[in-house]
Amino acid sequence: MKLKMRQTLIGLLFITVLAGCGRVGTNQLVEGKVNVVTSFYPIYEFASAIGGENANVINLLPTGVEPHEWTPRSNDIITASKAQLFFYNGAGLEGWVPSFLKGLSQDSKVKTVEVSKGISLIEAGDEADGHDHSAEASSNSEPAAHKSDPHTWVSPKSAMQIAKNIKDSYVQVDPAHSADYESRYEKLADQLNKLDAKFTSELAKTSKKEIVVSHQAFGYLCRDYGLTQHAIMGLSPDAEPRAQDIIELSKVVKQENIKYIFFEELVSDKLARTLAGETGVQTLVLNPVEGLTKQEEQNKDNYFTLMEKNLQNLILALQ
């Protein structure tokens, strides 16, 4: 443990030293626009939609990378130091943010915004029905950093608050174009409202309400649309469940007559497929929209297309 801590401190020191060396980042800042740095994909999409032609939005997280374990490079700190806005989710998702902010240059004017502010957070172990349904709940391998469920954006209801926080931040740093930001925000909010209404009406019709997922990323979705998740892994997708947890989940699958185990594109599907094989059920994708795969990027997928696919898969699984 001491060795790991020491390596982490050395790594952070290395980042800070490099940040002071003035290396030029690959992400280009644009003069005359509000330069925005975002921590991962959904925030990038919403910031781009609301910022429009008035903003230059740079996403730190590369395509195909899962955000829980990613850490920024020295160039990312340099870019953020020169930007006007830095948007991150918060709620424990980006454990690197405190060190990142300390590494910003002393003359930086960047406004940092935790876009999940205002959302009623789900505490770890506090699911929609007041119980923790992750197989991981009874093991000790869940990282201590996750005190809250950070997956706020996975529910269109919560995503509306994220979009509002982003819009308000644009208006604060660039009041001259506030009407433009308000107009684009209204379009995005309308899309989110329609998506929310569709999730509400379609999921109200399903006879089943229990889902089994690979990673405990759907707490807000379940809370807002009357579902219950049973997760193979906890809030971090790299936490390994115990054998007895898998046995317990197998019982749930049989008792609840569950036909599909959900897995994710950016996380290994090994455990989901193992559980599906043991219980004689099929697998389906339920996407937490933490980032795009290269294929999804090529397909021009976005938050809305992926959430629509999620809804269709939920309807199929909950029949």
313 in Cβ contact with 286 (< 8 Å): yes
Mean pLDDT for the stretch of residues 153-159: 98
Q: By mean pLDDT, which of 122-131, 188-197, 242-251, 270-279 is the weakest?
A: 122-131
pLDDT digits (tens, 9 = 90+) for 168-214: 999 999 999 999 999 999 999 999 999 999 999 999 999 999 999 98
91-94 long-range contacts, CB within 8 A, separation 24+:
91/116, 91/119, 91/121, 91/148, 91/149, 91/150, 91/152, 92/145, 92/146, 92/147, 92/148, 92/150, 92/235, 93/39, 93/40, 93/67, 93/68, 93/150, 93/151, 94/39, 94/40, 94/67
Are the CB atoms for 273 and 285 separated by under 8 Å?
no
In the three-class reduction of DSSP (H, G, I as helix; E, B as strand; rest coil), residue 113 is classed as: strand
CA distance 166 to 235: 25
The angle at the Cα of 270, spanning 259 to 64, to the nearest 5 degrees, equals 105
Separation of alpha carbons 183 and 259, rounded Å? 43
Rounded-to-integer distance, Cα 146 and Cα 173, Å: 31
Rounded to an integer, what distance in angstroms lies between the CA atom of residue 188 and that of residue 158? 13
- Rounded Cα distance between 290 and 64, Å, is 9
Residue 81's identity, in one-letter code, is S
pLDDT tens figures, 75-121? 999 999 999 999 999 999 999 999 999 999 999 999 999 999 999 99
Q: Residue 195: what residue type?
A: L
Contact predicate 275/212, CB 8 Å? yes
Handedness of CA 231, 234, 238, 243 (dihedral sign): negative
Q: How confident is the model at residue 248 (pLDDT cuts 50, 70, 90)?
A: confident
Which tokens hold the place of 165? 């926080």
Q: Is the pLDDT confidence value at 155 over 60?
A: yes
Annotate 106-126 with b (16+ C-beta within 10 A) or e (fewer): eebebebbbbbeebebbebbe
Tokens 């939609």 identify what position? 49
Work out the percent of the chain whose per-residue pLDDT is above 70. Answer: 83
